[in-house]
Every structure is written in structure tokens, then in C-alpha cells.
Amino acid sequence: MVGDVVIPAGERSGASGSGGRRGTEGTGQFSTLGLHLADPRVEASVLSLLDSVEGELRANVASADPLVSEAARHLVEAGGKRFRPLLVALGAQFGDPTSPGVVPAAVVMELTHLATLYHDDVMDEAAVRRGAPSANSRWTNSVAILVGDFLFARAADISADLGTEAVRLQARTFARLVHGQIAETVGPRGGEDPVAHYLHVIAEKTGSLIATSARFGGLFSGASPEHIEALAGYGETIGVAFQLSDDLLDIASESTQSGKTPGTDLREGVPTLPVLYALASDDADAAGVRLREILSTGPLVDDALHAEALGLLRESPALKRARETVRSYAEDARTRLAPLPQGPSRRALESLCDYIADRTS
């Protein structure tokens, strides 16, 4: 399950989740995210790219069929984090970010991501996505699946214009996404560590696409091969860290900071990292024993049990351990930046490590 956090890209008219929000131009900060990019020129470049991506997304989900157009626009106009286009834009700072392939590459990444959300909601039987009725609940499962397929097709069409390498990379990334979804659906196999399995699923489902996003930014801006590889390694690791931090926000946040009501994963029985750590714990204190007892029952649809489990998790060693895991991934991502030149572009990527490490503190 992929959480949503809005990253502003200038004015986004018509977006129910983020309309009218702006980055704080000239201050080195994305105000909604609290992300400091350290350099106004880098921020201006990134914001410009993200604004262009918004327009291209809307243009590329249009169809001759009014139903397809409406359903395909559904999640685009609901807003969202645009984290993958952000990584394309940041990666492009190591070449020429105005190169003509950069914006289409970012659109490919976001369309691919959006397509997976349509399919995820069908598999999860989700009723809400980004604060609005999910496509499957509004139009039926069949329509949601087919619209997801349509978005995959649009992404592939744009990739073809970018060249053979783009098509190959997108296809390989899609294969990893599918493998990750299968692994999540099947669950840990006999004797497999549930935590290791969960981290593998996140790397396949989330890290893979963010890695390709950072790679595309470097590739289509003309960055050097060494820098492109460093960006891809960074993208994969920071992608895992970001998803894990979303999992923690679902438990630790008192607001809807994660883009959904806190405790949603608990209510739906989604075994995120803090829950897996708690279940694997051998803490003999009353709180630890009680927490394992509640979590072992599955989805917490009972309001009283849900509230009790949420309270126990917030005070548990499992949550602290999960925070340490997020910080470990964020620091690992930072080390992968070593081949990149020092300067404002690298500092922008480092600031993302700091942001992710700190957002669940």
C-alpha cells in the first residue's frame, strides 16, 4: 500500500487534494512538505519542471471516450505526492534540466505509478484514494483495471518517443512492480522472515519506480553514466525509506499528514514494519504481550481494539525500532551520493534524506 503526501508544484487548478498550493519560491523550501532544497535556483528549476509535468499529465490522460477520460483524470486531479516526478527533476540537475526528454520522462514515471494505484485499489478493495472515492468504488473493478491498463499504455507510448533505452527501463521496472505485487499477495513463504519479505516487497513495488525516476532524470538530462548509476542507487534506497516513513506516519501522526486517516493500515490488517516488529518481539511486559495479542487477531475493525492497539504501538519499542530502520535507509541513500559532485544539486538530494529521517521523529 502506497501512501500519499502532497508535494506542491505551483498552482494546480482542479486538484481536490492540493489545488492552489504553492512551493515557497525563493526560500529554498517546499512549504507543504517542509523540504528545504537549499538553493533557490535548484528549487526554481524543480518547480518549473513539476509545473510542466502537471500540464502534460492532464493532456496525456485524455481519451476519445468520455468515460475513459473522466476515470483516467480521477487520480490526476485528486493530487498526490508527485514524488517520482520530483526525483526525475532532482536527478536532472546533474545534467541539463531543460533538455526536451526530462518532462516526458517524469510523465512516464507518474503515469506508471498512477496505473498501479488503480490496480492496487481493486486488489485491496479500497473505497477511498487521496480523500476521494476510489475509481473501483465509483465505476466498478473492471473499469478501474482497464483504466489502469490505459495509463500503462500511455506511459509506454511516451517511452517509445524517448527511445529504446527508455522502453527497456520502463518494462524492466514494470516487471519488478509485478513481482513485488505477487510477493505481497502471496505473503512470506515457509521459513521466510516476515520483515525481510516486507522490505523486499517495498523495494520491488516502491523503490524500483523511484530508482528509475532518478535514473531517468540523469539519463535524459545528459548526466554522465557514473552519475546516472549513483542517482539510481540513491533513488531505490530513498524510495524504500520514504515508504517506510509513510508506514510510521500512519501510526504516529495525529493528523492526516500521511494522506490518510491515522491507523488505516491497522484497521485494514496491513502488516507494516512497526506491526511486524511488534509481532516478532519477545517483550514480556504487559503492554508488549497485550499488543501482540491484539495484532494477532487481524484487521482491527472494532473501534475500541483499534484505538488500544494504536496507543500501544505509539509507545512501543517496535515503533522506535522502525524509526531507526527508516534512518538507516536514509543514511544509506546519502552514502550513495558519493560519486556525485558537491554543490547545490547534491545538497538538494541530501536534504531529502534529512526530511525523510526527520518526518517521523
Beta bridge partner(s), residue 133: 128
Q: Where do the domains of the chain lie, and which CATH numbers do they carry?
A: 29-261+326-332+339-358 (1.10.600.10)
Kindly state the DSSP code that residue 205 receives in the 8-state scheme.
Answer: I
Instruction: Please give the Cα distance from 344 to 357 (Å, whole number).
Output: 20
For the chain, report the end-to-end CA distance as a whole number of angstroms.
22
**pLDDT given for residue 93 in this prediction:** 97
Task: At 288, list the grid cell.
Answer: 508488549
**pLDDT given for residue 67 in this prediction:** 81
**pLDDT given for residue 12 in this prediction:** 29
Report the alpha-carbon angle 234-93-323, nearest 5.
30
Determine contact, residues 230/339, Cβ cutoff 8 Å: yes
Report residues of the chain scoring pLDDT below 50: 1-33, 258
SS (HEC) of 13-40: CCCCCCCCCCCECCCCEECCCCEECCCH
Q: Tell me how far the alpha carbon of residue 106 is from its chain's centroid.
A: 14
**pLDDT given for residue 29 in this prediction:** 38
Q: Which residue has the cell 525563493?
A: 26
The whole model's pTM is what?
Answer: 0.86
**Residue type present at position 320:** K
**pLDDT given for residue 259 in this prediction:** 52
Q: Tell me how far the alpha carbon of residue 66 is from its chain's centroid.
A: 29
**pLDDT given for residue 324 in this prediction:** 96
Instruction: Please give the Cα distance from 97 to 114 (Å, whole number).
Output: 24
